[in-house]
Structure 1
């Protein structure tokens, strides 16, 4: 993102809208990854996501299907996710 576009809330607004659409479509999980050297963990945490440590994974299978399986990022990447709130 160009420097002049930073700190204007554009990314936060896009994430909020994307999250809203995911929940409206009844998706259970929203996730992504970023290059670990970008240090975007604090940003995604402020947006309500859980950010894993590099190399860490999360068991989403139990949440989605009752069968355990893990999601995580590859080398040099950091995984983040947000589950659909209960009752939505």
Structure 2
């Protein structure tokens, strides 16, 4: 899956019926390089200029769309997998 298609998916906040657009994502952290996997997550905003910093906000959710934890900033360059598909340029 191309990264531009992943970013288009991030822009979709809701799908039919007003439900949030849920996806799975695997990414590496910026400082430690740790691999993080969220089996169910939604796209959220961050308190920064996301375009200039090349970041997107991700929030893990459970089966009932209840948040788990807090919004996590993800560098678009460090996304490894999206909805089970490998991400490339």
TM over 0.5: no
Structure 1-normalised TM-score? 0.27
Structure 2-normalised TM-score? 0.27
Give the structure with the larger helix fraction.
1
Larger Rg: 1
